[in-house]
């Protein structure tokens, strides 16, 4: 079946994870991309058919005022801070994409998640930034997954995904997913990160699946490993 189930990050030892799932979403690439030698080791250690998806570097999506920059190991000069984040058409943002592109090629990754903060609102400037960014970078054979937050309307999201060939990333318990050829669900926990999904929740996720599309179910809650395994058993 065209369904992939996994976690956002490794909640258990990698060898144990590889035995349970065939996909993981890397989180470290969002905060601070690792050395390319480290990325190559990850690829070599994983089974050949194992899939890595990854979050794009925060320098592309978030401004330096974001608290997530506390985990950044790059010093940003004060006079350059305005050049980062929100898909701005700057050398700094495009450099950040080049780093992610290199990592994707080593990992043979096809899916890149662009998670935006709620402060990235549906203004004309932000929409223009999105259009310029995605029309400028090398798409190769990637699937670009966009996770907007905050005030975005379904119409804005639908229009931009159609125009820019993006996949709308949703938590299906919070937003009504669009029916797309590829569907990417990030499951953050109903009401918070410490939520454990019920059997009824998991059955509803199973019912969202259809054989004519590819579905990613990526868990991002405290009980992600256990919940993902429980959903996996529903597909067996």
Residue 176 is predicted with a pLDDT of 83
**Residue 114 φ/ψ, nearest 5 degrees:** -105, 95
- Tokens read off for 79: 């006079």
33, 59 in Cβ contact below 8 A? no
Q: Which residues are bridge partners to 182 per DSSP?
A: 214
In the predicted structure, residue 62 carries a pLDDT above the cut 60: yes
- Give me the CATH topology for the region 3-234: TIM Barrel (3.20.20)
pLDDT tens for residues 163-181?
999 999 999 999 888 778 9
Interatomic CA distance for residues 163 and 24, integer angstroms: 28
Q: What are the residue ranges spanned by the domains of the chain?
A: 3-234
Q: What percent of the chain lies above the pLDDT cut of 90?
A: 93
Consecutive H or E run containing 208: helix 199-208
pLDDT tens for residues 100-133?
999 999 999 999 999 999 999 999 999 999 999 9
Residue 1 is predicted with a pLDDT of 55
pLDDT tens for residues 195-235?
999 999 999 999 999 989 999 999 999 999 999 999 999 99
28 alpha-carbon distance from chain centroid: 11
Whole-model pTM: value is: 0.96
In the predicted structure, residue 150 carries a pLDDT above the cut 90: no
What mean pLDDT is predicted for residues 90-107? 98
181 alpha-carbon distance from chain centroid: 17
């Amino acid at each position: 079946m065209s369904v992939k189930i996994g976690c956002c990050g490794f909640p258990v030892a990698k060898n144990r994870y590889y035995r349970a799932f065939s996909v993981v979403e890397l989180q470290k690439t969002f905060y601070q991309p690792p050395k390319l030698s480290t990325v190559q080791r990850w690829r070599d250690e994983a089974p050949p058919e194992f899939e890595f998806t990854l979050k794009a570097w925060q320098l592309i999506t978030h401004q330096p005022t974001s608290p997530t920059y506390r985990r950044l190991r790059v010093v940003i000069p004060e006079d350059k801070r305005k050049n980062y984040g929100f898909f701005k058409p700057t050398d700094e943002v495009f450099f950040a994409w080049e780093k992610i592109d290199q990592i994707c090629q080593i990992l043979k990754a096809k899916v890149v998640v662009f998670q935006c903060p709620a402060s990235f609102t549906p203004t004309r400037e932000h929409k223009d930034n999105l259009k310029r960014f995605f029309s400028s970078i090398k798409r190769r054979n990637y699937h670009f997954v966009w996770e907007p937050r905050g005030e975005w309307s379904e119409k804005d999201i639908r229009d931009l995904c159609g125009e820019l060939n993006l996949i709308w990333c949703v938590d299906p318990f919070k937003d009504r997913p669009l029916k797309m050829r590829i569907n990417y669900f990030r499951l953050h926990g109903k009401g918070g990160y410490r939520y454990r999904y019920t059997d009824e929740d998991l059955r509803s996720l199973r019912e969202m699946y259809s054989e004519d599309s590819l579905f990613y179910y990526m868990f991002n809650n405290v009980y992600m490993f256990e919940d993902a395994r429980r959903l996996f058993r529903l597909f067996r």
